Chains A and B, each alone.
Chain A
Amino acid sequence: MPYSFITHEDRQAMLSAIGAASLEELFAPIPDELRIQGPLDLPPALCELELEQHMHQLAAKNAPAGEKVCFLGGGSYDHFVPAVVDAIASRGEFYTSYTPYQPEVSQGNLQVMFEYQTLICQLTGMDVSNASLYEGGSAAAEAVLMSMSTTGRPNKVVTSASVHPEYRQIIETYFEQLNSELVTVPAPDGTVSIEQLAATVDDDTACVLLQHPNFFGCLEDVAAAAEIAHHHNAVLVVSCDPISLGLLKRPGDLGADVVVAEGQPLGTPMQYGGPYLGILACRERFVRRMPGRIAGQTVDRRGRRCWVLTLQTREQHIRRERATSNICTNQGLFALRAATYLATVGPQGLRQTAELCLRKANYAADAITADRRFSRAQHQPFFKEFVIRDAKGQVEALLDEATNSGFLAGIPLAPWYPELEDCFLVAVTEKRTKEEIDALANCLASVSVEAPVAVTQ
């Protein structure tokens, strides 16, 4: 699209239309102290060639997962994306489309949304899925709000220290304007303390929010948490890793009432943290409290199968400030990627992917802890992520050194967990080879032996 700039004539036409003689007159009501005096402090303009070179230099400072060997996780994972996903998602019909308010001209998009929802329901064991939300964290927050309005319990939500800290921050941010309390139960050995959970959940609790596998990669006792929540008529919200569902029982089969997930692992690259895909699915009794768009299947006047947006009466374009949620933008393009991914790999492929993650992660944990400097910080079964403790407590220097050797070795946990300041989180996907894992273990061990990084500030 060509860039159209404003001409002197354009400016005069706009000014005369609103009845202002000059720009100065238009801006006159703005107090002087709020206005910048003089020109903006900008460097001189670059020509196209110079600009391109400048942008290349900036881009070269990135260390993308495609150029380093990536063991980063914590909500964003380097999974394989089959080429067919890009081929379908880059089609103009999908790539540039907007919300299908007008079903008669949007059947392709609506069909994709419906198929996505169907796949998500099959994957999670839920009755209804919406057509997606922004990303996993806001999906978790919306699930919490859904639970509060369904139960009529606006004051208390219980979660675990093993739920993604950023998801909990998002909920805290929502709660700043509500009279609601987010109570976090400790996770002493990497999983939520079931005893303390039972002691914390009461008849005022709207929901229990757990993550499974959790932020540390460990498997939670979801069924026990479901029993505790349901005993108090509270809702159980489970945030899951969709790839793990190739192997693990579906959250719906473990007693979850609402399932949320970060959908990025399903066919979307890590791409510097977003845009991603918020998955939200629930039991049918919550459907009228579910935020976002829902595609429904129906028949046209000739009896042919077709699709529409359904249950729209609670959305903000109709209900304004009384809408179920004012975040009802979906990630249609990423839902399409997820649907394409799931349809491509199929149940068997998803199982194989999950098995490879599990086995390679276990192999990596053994390989890394072969050096006595490193140990697993927790002793619970895990899926594709695990926490490594560095006996020398030099996590930052260690990870920097690994980056210089070509490995994105993990995420330091100090920013979120002071008690785990000597620990980092390692994720292993099906893409990592035995050679890469051995090389990472050797790299960490060699840093350990030479210890040139021991010089700390």
Chain B
Amino acid sequence: MNPEELLYCETHEWIHVEEQAGSKVGTVGISAFAVEQLTDLVYIELPEVGRAISAGGEFGEVESVKAVSPLYCPVAGEIVAVNSDIKDRLEVLGEDPYQAGWLIKLRITDESALSELLDYAAYQKQCAEEG
């Protein structure tokens, strides 16, 4: 996925939204900036398929040698797929955060939160301020 076409949370998750069989499906991951800030990742906890999550709700956590950080869901939905393989290949998050490093896919149940998200330019600006 092209990072310039994604939407971002202030908490560094990205989402890509597409139409699938009449409903909107979002693919969620964390940004290259987030992975870089977290330093060496050691563990990730992801939810089970079927769980409903609200916009801004926690869907898991990622642990580095320095800290444990919650993962926040950009939009409300029901989880339809989880990238479980990534647990054993955390390096993928650093190598390819926007494609192979996706974390969850969810069927969006309320898209209102999408309008609050940052576009690429706004997110880059935030990262520059934080970095």
Residues of chain A within 8 A of B66, CB atoms compared: 313
Residues on A with beta carbons closer than 8 Å to the beta carbon of B70: 322
**CB of A434 closer than 8 Å to a CB of B:** no
A-B contact count (CB 8 A): 16
Q: How many B residues touch the partner, as a band?
A: under 10
Chain B residues with Cβ below 8 Å from A232 are none
B44 to chain A, nearest CB (A): 11
Is B43 a contact of A318 with CB atoms below 8 Å?
no
- Complex CA–CA separation, A51 to B63 (angstroms): 56
CB distance from B119 to the nearest CB of A (A): 30
Q: Which of B25-73 contact A (CB under 8 A)?
A: 43, 45, 63-68, 70
When the two chains form their complex, are residues A288 and B63 in contact, meaning their CB atoms are under 8 A apart?
A: yes
Q: Per-residue CB proximity of A299-336 to B under 8 Å, as 1/0?
A: 00000000000000110001100100000000000000
**Min CB distance, A339 to chain B, in Å?**
28
How far, in Å, is A324 (CB) from chain B's closest CB? 9
Instruction: List chain A residues, Cβ under 8 A from B68.
Output: 313-314, 319, 322
User: Are B67 and A318 within 8 A (Cβ)?
Assistant: yes
CA–CA, A314 and B65, complex, Å: 11
CB distance from B112 to the nearest CB of A (A): 27
Chain A residues within 8 Å of B67, by CB: 313, 318-319
Give the complex CA separation of A288 and B61 in angstroms: 11
* Closest Cβ–Cβ distance, residue B51 to chain A (whole Å): 10
Q: Which residue of A lies closest to B42 (CB)?
A: A313
Which of the listed residues A313, A314, A319, A322 has the most CB atoms from chain B within 10 Å of its own CB? Answer: A313
What is the distance, in angstroms, from B63's C-beta to the closest C-beta of chain A?
Answer: 6
Complex: chain A residue closest to B45, CB-CB: A288
Nearest A residue to B64 via CB reads: A313
A319-B67 Cα distance, complex, nearest whole Å: 7
Q: Separation in Å of the A298 CB from the closest CB of chain B?
A: 12
Closest to B68 in A: A313
Among B43, B66, B68, the most chain A Cβ lie within 10 Å of the Cβ of: B68
In angstroms, Cα B64 to Cα A180, docked, is: 32
Q: Least Cβ distance of B10 to chain A in Å?
A: 18
Q: Which residues of A contact B65 (CB under 8 A)?
A: 313
Residues of A within 8 A of B (CB): 288, 313-314, 318-319, 322
Beyond A313-B64, A313-B68, A322-B68, 13 additional contacts (C-beta under 8 Å) are A288-B43, A288-B45, A288-B63, A313-B63, A313-B65, A313-B66, A313-B67, A314-B63, A314-B68, A318-B67, A319-B67, A319-B68, A322-B70
* 16 pairs, A vs B, C-beta closer than 8 Å: A288-B43, A288-B45, A288-B63, A313-B63, A313-B64, A313-B65, A313-B66, A313-B67, A313-B68, A314-B63, A314-B68, A318-B67, A319-B67, A319-B68, A322-B68, A322-B70
